[in-house]
Structure 1
Amino acid sequence: MSLTTRFVIIGLSPIIIIGAFWHVQLEEVRLFLLPLLGVLALVLGGVLGIGFAKWRKLDRAQTGSMFVSGSFTNIGSFGTLFCYVFLGEASIVFAAMYRLFEEFVYYLIGFPIAKLYGEQERGNGRRREMIRKLVTDPFIMASFCAIVLGGVLNFSPVARPEFYSTVIEILVPLTTFLLVLPIGFNMKIKAIQGYIKECLAVSVIKFVLVPVTITSLAVLLGMGQLYDGMVLKVIIILSAMPPAFISLIPPQLYKLDQDLANSSWLLNTGLLLIVLPFLYFIVGSF
């Protein structure tokens, strides 16, 4: 992980999260369903990825890559940015709640499953060690502490300074730019030609099946009217994001099909140019 990425996750992102939680009014109990919907979206995407691989009779290395491509989702940088651009600062807190357990799902569920489809990792890969590293991971703890601190400030008599809105306006696009900047320099763009069907399958999973399922469930749970529909709009946007950059890491660690994972990431990230106008129209229609 580059120094730039570390700086963003530990230094800049917590400032945004603290400010968002400090400002919003969290009086609706149903908001605490947001993290569960976020988890369900990640799990559903992975299951669908494996299902497609079984249907197509892909080998184990390709199945593992389909799993991480279907599961791991870019709700941190792109998702939060698009929520901010489309819906404003108030949406950031809902985005943070939606992705509250994101890293836990990746490291406790996603990485172990990916490992099952690849070669055994050399060295200490025991579950206890993985859990220990997870709960002491500075990147996870930075986000968690920011949420807690923002919540405490929210219920305190201390008012958020007016300049904080300007700080957030600057930091949200800046953090996205800094996170995306180091990505993709060593990818084989031509490899996409050999994985068109797999990439398009991930597109259907990411942009159709998962968002339709998660959004429908959110409506059934009565979340459509919360905060004038903003919560549901956040769910729509975050559940329709492409594979995350972290989906490229398990294929490298466990010798899965790296070209498949890279191709899926590249193609589906590029498809945002087509998907975003639809998302903007949908969230602007109610």
Structure 2
Amino acid sequence: MLSSLSSLLHLYLQFGGGLFIGFLLKPQLPPSTPVIIGRFLYWFGVPVSILAFLRHTPLTESLWIAPLVAWGAMGFALFLGWLWIHFLGLRFTPTPLNHPTIGSFLLASMVGNTGYLGYPICFALVGHDYLGWILFYDLLGNTIGSYGLGVLLATHYGYGVTRLFPLTMNLIKNPTLWSLGISVSIQSIPFPRSIDIILLACGWGSIALSVILIGMRLGQRSFIKNVQLVRTSLIIKMLLVPMVLGIGLKLTNLSGLTQLTLILQSAMPPAFATVVIAELYDLDRDFAVTTLTLGTLTLVVTLPLWLLLFSTNELW
């Protein structure tokens, strides 16, 4: 237990330090800096990280369970959000919600930050042997759900022009998906040791840079008055869904650390994609930014909960 607590404390120090550095750097740098860093990570950093780490990760046929779990988690979150909006929320919301706010609420309840946050956190807590589960959950589950089901929701609730084709092309051109396919296909090809060392250095550097980027994004605060709705969205996304998922996974034959990996990914706070989609489809951007910010801060409290409830002797 002490070693696991030490790992969690070490993760908090690294993660908190990266967020703090990004938060401090944001006012000192040009406004375009987060955008440039985000593009660098999107086109180079994350794909190289996948190539570096996946070369040393065992892949099995059971990995296809991960995206199925991701889709199940998103569907359950969407169902809970729909119930709240159409039934329970009527008792707590003094004024009717407009469509853009409903759209952002459902997106924030459904789509998690399983990439920039999920990768480093799960990697640090469960190890590289489970990277395949982390990647398949994110790329084939959460990413496709964001720009698939998420876009369908945005076109229904948004006031903007329906632009399905550009986002569909963005999904097809996603370099992370291509990197996953290439990494799997060349996994058995030996690389010179020097190349492996360089790739791993780039991978770890990209993880650190992604945490700093999140700190910069947290500096772009934009809070709304409807705190009750934000709280409800985060309760669905970060408490109810992972709790029900964890109980369900206990009934399967998956190993303890595999279950914990999937639970941690499902418990990640709302993703950057919710803000991107909100901007493109004229949803409630302030709501998206608020849930992203508060959800990231809430993760510090919820992480120990999942470790306490669902970790096994493999971890402790």
Establish whether TM, by shorter chain, passes 0.5. yes
Among 237, 248, 253, the residue aligned to 2:264:
237
Which shifted more, 65-74 or 270-279?
270-279
1:91 aligns with 130
Letter aligned with residue 220 of structure 1: L
Among 148, 151, 166, the residue aligned to 1:111:
151
What CA distance in whole angstroms lies between the structure 1 residues aligned with 2:262 and 2:246? Answer: 7
Deviation at 1:60, TM superposition (A): 1.9
Deviation at 1:40, TM superposition (A): 2.1
Going from structure 1 to structure 2, the CA distance change for 1:269 and 1:130 (only over 3 Å counts) comes to closer
Contact 1:68 1:247 in 2 (8 A): yes
For 1:127-166, list aligned pairs within 5 A: 127=164, 130-135=167-172, 137=173, 140=174, 142-156=175-189, 158=190, 161=193, 163=197
Contact 2:46 2:203 in 1 (8 A): no
What CA distance in whole angstroms lies between the structure 2 residues aligned with 1:274 and 1:150? Answer: 35
Deviation at 1:256, TM superposition (A): 2.5
For 1:1-286, list aligned pairs within 5 A: 2-27=35-60, 29-55=61-87, 56-57=89-90, 58-101=97-140, 102-121=142-161, 125=163, 127=164, 130-135=167-172, 137=173, 140=174, 142-156=175-189, 158=190, 161=193, 163=197, 167=201, 170-171=204-205, 173-189=207-223, 191=224, 194-223=225-254, 225=255, 229-282=256-309, 284-286=311-313
Q: TM-score, normalised by structure 1?
A: 0.83
Going from structure 1 to structure 2, the CA distance change for 1:280 and 1:164 (only over 3 Å counts) comes to farther
1:160-182 C-alpha deviation (Å, 9 max, x unpaired):
73636852673353232243144
Three-state SS of the structure 2 residue aligned to 1:100 is helix
What CA distance in whole angstroms lies between the structure 1 residues aligned with 2:102 and 2:130? Answer: 35
Letter aligned with residue 188 of structure 1: S
2:3 aligns with none
Deviation at 1:30, TM superposition (A): 2.0
Deviation at 1:133, TM superposition (A): 4.4
Three-state SS of the structure 2 residue aligned to 1:243 is coil
Three-state SS of the structure 1 residue aligned to 2:148 is helix
Letter aligned with residue 168 of structure 2: I
What CA distance in whole angstroms lies between the structure 2 residues aligned with 1:186 and 1:169? Answer: 26
Letter aligned with residue 216 of structure 1: I
Going from structure 1 to structure 2, the CA distance change for 1:178 and 1:120 (only over 3 Å counts) comes to same
Deviation at 1:67, TM superposition (A): 0.7
2:18 aligns with none
Structure 1 stretches of at least 4 aligned residues deviating more than 4 Å after TM superposition: 127-130
Three-state SS of the structure 2 residue aligned to 1:155 is coil
Going from structure 1 to structure 2, the CA distance change for 1:252 and 1:154 (only over 3 Å counts) comes to closer
Letter aligned with residue 272 of structure 2: F
What CA distance in whole angstroms lies between the structure 2 residues aligned with 1:220 and 1:168? Answer: 39
Q: TM-score, normalised by structure 2?
A: 0.76
Going from structure 1 to structure 2, the CA distance change for 1:249 and 1:166 (only over 3 Å counts) comes to closer
Deviation at 1:264, TM superposition (A): 1.9
Letter aligned with residue 50 of structure 1: W
Contact 2:103 2:157 in 1 (8 A): yes
1:69-127 C-alpha deviation (Å, 9 max, x unpaired):
11121110111111122122323232111112232222221022122112141xx62x4
What CA distance in whole angstroms lies between the structure 2 residues aligned with 1:39 and 1:160? Answer: 38
Deviation at 1:198, TM superposition (A): 1.1
Going from structure 1 to structure 2, the CA distance change for 1:250 and 1:50 (only over 3 Å counts) comes to farther
Q: Percent identity?
A: 20
Contact 2:120 2:207 in 1 (8 A): yes
Letter aligned with residue 198 of structure 1: L
Going from structure 1 to structure 2, the CA distance change for 1:166 and 1:186 (only over 3 Å counts) comes to closer
What CA distance in whole angstroms lies between the structure 2 residues aligned with 1:251 and 1:98? Answer: 23
CA RMSD, aligned part only?
A: 2.5
What CA distance in whole angstroms lies between the structure 2 residues aligned with 1:118 and 1:34? Answer: 30
What CA distance in whole angstroms lies between the structure 1 residues aligned with 2:232 and 2:58? Answer: 39
Letter aligned with residue 256 of structure 1: L
